[in-house]
Amino acid sequence: MISKQQIEEKYTAIFEQAPAYVVRSPGRINIIGEHTDYNEGFVLPTAIDKAIYVGIGKRDDHIIRLYAEDFKEYFELALADVHPVDKGWPNYVLGVVHQLQLRGANLKGFDMYIDGDVPLGAGLSSSAALECAVGFALNVLFDLEIGRVDIAKIGQLAEHTYAGVKCGIMDQFASVMSKAGHVVKLDCRDLSFSYKPLELDDYAILLLNTNVKHSLASSAYNDRRASCEEGVRLVQQKFPEVKSLRDVTLEMLEAHVRPVDMEVYTKCRFVVEENERLHQACDALEHGDIETVGRQMFSAHEGLSKEYEVSCPELDFLVDYVKSFPEVIGARMMGGGFGGCTINLVKKSFQDLLVERLAPIYKEEFDLELTAIKVIPSNGTELL
């Protein structure tokens, strides 16, 4: 955890005055609901206690000055000259500025210091956290009166246009909208949402990072999207009112997709069943039944691995290994696939012992270090 005072001191050392505001915007996890977002389905994310922090202050000219602690890098640009740059990290800030300019926001120059403790490359959405921190900070600094959902949308558009990643809305939405002790049940079709209680009691959420990213990820993602779209097209021939897999039942798939294309059928069935698992997990959360949530997670991993085929040997190994311990009640791969983390529901008292046992076996099997990340569900973007 980084303190407000640390940010203020660093900001003051670099920009020679105190920041007007310090904003914290968290990374996120997703309990269940993977590859459902681009099919207008449901997701179940929450923010975590790892975040991006920005200090911000006004200038009396039209210059943007940025400093990123992670890279020990300084960047400067005139507000009138905002455009995507070759250096990666400023684009997440500039993309948000650009979206605000398109909305006619009355911006002036500002100084911004950026730091964070979201582990990079672990699939915890550090980029979305940064975009939301920037949007939130500029909103308070210049009294823009932009609502939280719009801050999330601005972050998503910044990612599309300046970072070149066509992400869904989940990451930004979770970063801005989360509430400690809850998950957000988000409908990716219309962005309606509700909070479900996440009462973990004796359990904790432990992420195990494979420290691997297979190059299959982007091509496989495009293939899966195409399969889902093809399944919808086949069903639409009989049911023209169907807009996405969200509207499709298993019976429709059985009758209209399975006889035509078994591969497409299998991929579409996974998405339809994943939405169903999410609804069942939400019912269980309402009743404080964390064991049922865990079972749905194991079931989701099975589907992601065997049916949707977006897992990898490292992820499968970690999920299979933890299954043998009664202290682990649920685990699955999290994120797009082919690397990143597994998310595990583990008895609090067993977390360290599990990692102690698992790390050397994982190292022996794959010659890779295993990184454990303990996370606590937390509030979304806030002013410190």
Q: Structural domains in the chain?
A: 4-198 (3.30.230.10), 203-375 (3.30.70.890)
Distance CA 258, CA 266 (A): 8
Residue 154: CA atoms inside 13 Å, Cβ hemisphere, count? 29
Q: Give helix 148-158 / helix 170-177 axis angle, nearest 10°.
A: 140
Q: Is 123 annotated as a binding residue?
A: yes
Judge whether 201 is annotated as a binding position: no
H or E stretch covering 329:
strand 328-333
Does 171 qualify as catalytic in the annotation? Answer: yes
Say whether 76 counts as a known binding-site residue: no
Contact between 139 and 153 (Cβ < 8 Å): no
Strand bridging mode 21-30 / 45-58 = antiparallel
Which residues have a Cβ under 8 Å from the Cβ of 329 and sit 6 or more positions away?
A: 203, 290, 291, 294, 295, 345, 346
Place of tokens 């995507």: 84
AA identity, residue 27: G
3-state secondary structure of 191: coil
In degrees, rounded to 5, the angle at the alpha carbon of residue 324 between the alpha carbons of residues 322 and 327 is 70
> Binding residue per annotation — 36?
yes
Per DSSP, 39 falls in state: G
Residues 70, 86, 171, 190: which is the catalytic one? 171
Q: Which residues pair with 29 in a beta bridge?
A: 46
Q: Is 37 annotated as a binding residue?
A: yes
Per-residue confidence (pLDDT) for residue 222, from 0 to 100: 86
The predicted-structure confidence for 187-222, as pLDDT tens digits, reads as follows: 999 999 999 999 999 999 999 999 998 877 678 888
- Distance, in Å, from the CA atom of 217 to the CA atom of 223, rounded to the nearest integer, reads 10
Asked whether 265 and 231 are in contact (CB, 8 A), the reply is yes
Per-residue pLDDT in tens (0 to 9) along the chain, 384 residues: 899 999 999 999 999 999 999 999 999 999 999 999 999 999 999 999 999 999 999 999 999 999 999 999 999 999 999 999 998 899 999 999 999 999 999 999 999 999 999 988 788 999 999 999 999 999 999 999 999 999 999 999 999 999 888 788 999 999 999 999 999 999 999 999 999 999 999 999 999 999 998 877 678 888 999 999 999 999 999 999 999 999 999 999 999 999 999 999 999 999 999 999 999 999 999 999 999 999 999 999 999 999 999 999 999 999 999 999 999 999 999 998 999 999 999 999 999 999 999 999 999 999 999 999 999 999 999 999
For residue 273, give the 3-state DSSP assignment: helix
Sign of the alpha-carbon dihedral angle for 253, 257, 258, 261: negative
Pairing of strands 63-68, 110-116: parallel
The percent of the chain in helix, strand and coil, each rounded to the nearest 5, is 45, 25, 30
Helix axes 148-158, 126-141, angle to 10 degrees: 130
105 is in an annotated binding site: no
Question: Residue 242 and residue 245: Cα distance in Å, rounded?
Answer: 8
Do 93 and 47 contact (CB within 8 A), yes or no? Answer: no
What lies within 8 Å, CB to CB, of 23 at 6+ separation is 53, 54, 56, 133, 136, 137, 140, 381, 382, 383, 384
Which amino acid type is present at position 213?
Answer: K
Cα separation, 317 vs 321, whole angstroms: 6
* 3: number of Cβ within 10 Å: 11
H or E element in which residue 195 lies: strand 193-197
Q: Which two tokens stand for residue 131?
A: 């975009």
| Contacts for 165 with CB less than 8 Å, ≥ 6 apart | 127, 159
The amino acid present at 150, given as its one-letter code, is: D
Contact (Cβ atoms closer than 8 angstroms) between residue 148 and residue 82: no
pLDDT tens per residue, range 295-319? 999 999 999 999 999 999 999 999 9
Distance in angstroms (rounded) separating the CA atoms of residues 70 and 89: 10
CA distance 55 to 23: 7
**Alpha carbon distance 302, 45 (integer Å):** 20
pTM: 0.93
Distance of CA 319 to the CA centre of its chain: 20
